[in-house]
Structure 1
Amino acid sequence: MEFARVGFRGTLPGTRPARRLVAIPAVLLVLLAGGCAERNPDPVPAEAATPSSTVDLSTLPEATTFGRTPRAPRDPDPQGTTDGVVLRVEQDIAVYDSVRGKAIARLPARQFKSPTWVPIVAERGDWARVLLPSRPNGSTGWVRADSDRVHKARSRHVVNVDVDARRLVVLEDGREIGSWKVGVGKEDSPTPLGRTFILASIRETVTDYSPIILPLGTHSETFTTYGGGPGTVALHGWPDPGVFGTASSDGCVRVPADALSLLRSLPLGTLVRLR
């Protein structure tokens, strides 16, 4: 794990949250993974927005891989990078459409039974703009980063996937530490482009094509569902090495075993750039 807590003035040494592998009930795992196997600088005004504690979170759509947040603003720089800062959601919080804007969604503390970590793509004062895991792809929102419901950390890693070249590269502090040919989506079910993140880490209990599945915060643009699930795109292994370097999946990124071994060690919330 390469997490370090950060304060508002920079990186501080601190604890490294343990990466959790969670066993998902068989029916849910089939819904998630079955399709991957084969288809079925503006200053911030002094006034604060309504705190999450006074917003009726139950009335807001949930920002999860199963949810839709149609009022969420789109990512302004889908091929951009970040400074590596990620936000841990300790308790459910409200997501806003702008600084001091309207509450548009609820970001829960857990995703697939894993703790919620989301990348910060912009900051203004005590506000942070984060990537969301919900549909439509590229959804973002603003949250209060000074709340006791959240804390910041930093991931030293970035995962770049060049879809046309069918190559995945892992960077650590800007330095390449691994590069592999991978399988990507077929022409009629392409891997969606844009920046996203590692949403969760799931131990496979249903099939044997990949011991670990790493769902991302993005979805197939072709299929509304994979086998009845939300159509979540993932990084995962594949037993047949012949798929690496080909466009052969329904949108997921199929990786070799040594790539998966490294990817599973990365912190949740780590930025993944599909381009």
Structure 2
Amino acid sequence: MPLDASRRLIGAALVAMSLVASTPASVAASPVTLAVGASVTATALPQATTFTELSGLPQDTDTYGKLSGVVVHPARTVAVYALPGGKPAATLPAKQLGSQTWVPVVEARKGWYRVLLPSKPNHVTGWIKAKGLKKARSRYRAIVKLGTRQLTVMNASKKVGTWTVAVGGSETPTPVGRTFMLALMSPKEKAYSPLILPLGTHSPTLDTFGGGPGTVAFHGWPDLKVFGKAVTHGCVRVPARALKVLAGLPLGTPVLIAP
């Protein structure tokens, strides 16, 4: 058995214990107010959150491509489209997991942005109208190399630091591809990490974990012997210094998980 299985509390490596406490009773049917230009009954659409699975939206085909760092935030809930000018397929809320929703841009057209979404399936994207969005650029990016079990944080072309980390085991691997920093959480139970940093991606083998959606995250770990090993349920366990650096990155910052 991997180390995770030996401790009931600490075994919640996919942050489900923290996430499930904030899961709305029905994320798909919650009434919301859409931003300007979105004339649709919101209750008929699923919300693009870490708790939902979306259909009818395009996949990110440049799985390992470098993101520009452009990130956007809807001040209010906005509609998400499969194609610009088409019918809405979902809504993107202004906040989730207690944090503002910032998502990275993967493609831009006049008046529109295609963004990575935090929902299942992994790598799902959608188009949102540019009007009414807050826009920023993150100079940072985090790169996880599963083969060498290394995390590197970059500030533009400058290396902030490199650390040896623990990654998913053979039966519960860490998902690969580009994703992003979704939220910053301080769990009630701090036995294994003072902070949890959920990403916009999910375990490829666990549909749920501990009652939550199987969201993958960066978090700390008290036993230093795990670093350099493939022993987690999919999350990336990082040393204390790395956790502090990651916690200082803007939400929406690109994260690349490579084989």
Give the TM-score category using the shorter length: 0.7 to 0.9
Give the ranges of 4+ consecutive aligned residues of structure 1 lying more than 6 Å apart after TM superposition.
none
Corresponding position of 1:44? none
SS of residue matched to 2:225: helix
Stretches of structure 1 that go unaligned for 5 or more consecutive residues are 1-27, 35-50
What's the CA shift string for 1:250-275, capped at 9, x where partnerless? 00000000000000000000000111
SS of residue matched to 1:178: strand
Kindly state the Cα deviation for residue 52 of structure 1 after the two structures are TM-superposed. Answer: 4.2
What's the CA shift string for 1:33-59, capped at 9, x where partnerless? 99xxxxxxxxxxxxxxxx643122221
Q: Relative to structure 1, is the Cα distance of residues 204 and 142 closer, same or farther in structure 2, using a 3 angstrom cutoff? A: same
1:142 pairs with 2:127: yes
1:165 pairs with 2:142: no
Instruction: Answer whether contact 1:29 1:204 (CA < 8 A) is retained.
Output: no
CA distance in 2, matches of 1:160, 1:174: 13
SS of residue matched to 2:38: helix
1:203 pairs with 2:186: yes
Q: Relative to structure 1, is the Cα distance of residues 228 and 33 closer, same or farther in structure 2, using a 3 angstrom cutoff? A: closer
Amino acid at match of 1:32: L
Kindly state the Cα deviation for residue 144 of structure 1 after the two structures are TM-superposed. Answer: 0.6
What's the CA shift string for 1:172-227, capped at 9, x where partnerless? 01221110010000011000011110100001212310000000000001111110
Instruction: Answer whether contact 1:33 1:226 (CA < 8 A) is retained.
Output: no
CA distance in 1, matches of 2:47, 2:231: 32
Instruction: Answer whether contact 1:31 1:228 (CA < 8 A) is retained.
Output: no
Amino acid at match of 2:157: G
Stretches of structure 2 that go unaligned for 5 or more consecutive residues are 1-14, 22-35
Kindly state the Cα deviation for residue 31 of structure 1 after the two structures are TM-superposed. Answer: 5.0
CA distance in 2, matches of 1:83, 1:99: 21
Kindly state the Cα deviation for residue 83 of structure 1 after the two structures are TM-superposed. Answer: 1.4
Amino acid at match of 1:265: G
1:57 to 42, 46, 58: 42
Corresponding position of 2:136? 153
What's the CA shift string for 1:53-111, capped at 9, x where partnerless? 31222211110000111212110201011211100111000000012222111100101
CA distance in 2, matches of 1:82, 1:216: 15
Quote the sequence identity (%). 50
Amino acid at match of 1:126: G
CA distance in 2, matches of 1:97, 1:112: 25
Corresponding position of 2:171? 188
Amino acid at match of 1:247: A
Instruction: Answer whether contact 1:29 1:206 (CA < 8 A) is retained.
Output: no
CA distance in 1, matches of 2:125, 2:100: 18
SS of residue matched to 2:57: coil
The TM-score with structure 1 as length reference comes to 0.81
2:82 to 93, 97, 114: 97
Corresponding position of 1:30? 17
SS of residue matched to 1:176: strand
Amino acid at match of 1:72: L
1:87 pairs with 2:99: no
Corresponding position of 1:235? 218
What's the CA shift string for 1:127-155, capped at 9, x where partnerless? 1010000000000001111x22x110011
CA RMSD of aligned residues (A): 1.7
Q: Relative to structure 1, is the Cα distance of residues 56 and 137 closer, same or farther in structure 2, using a 3 angstrom cutoff? A: same
Corresponding position of 1:119? 104
CA distance in 2, matches of 1:263, 1:64: 21
The TM-score with structure 2 as length reference comes to 0.86
Corresponding position of 1:223? 206
1:212 pairs with 2:199: no
Segment drifting more, 203-212 vs 240-249: 203-212
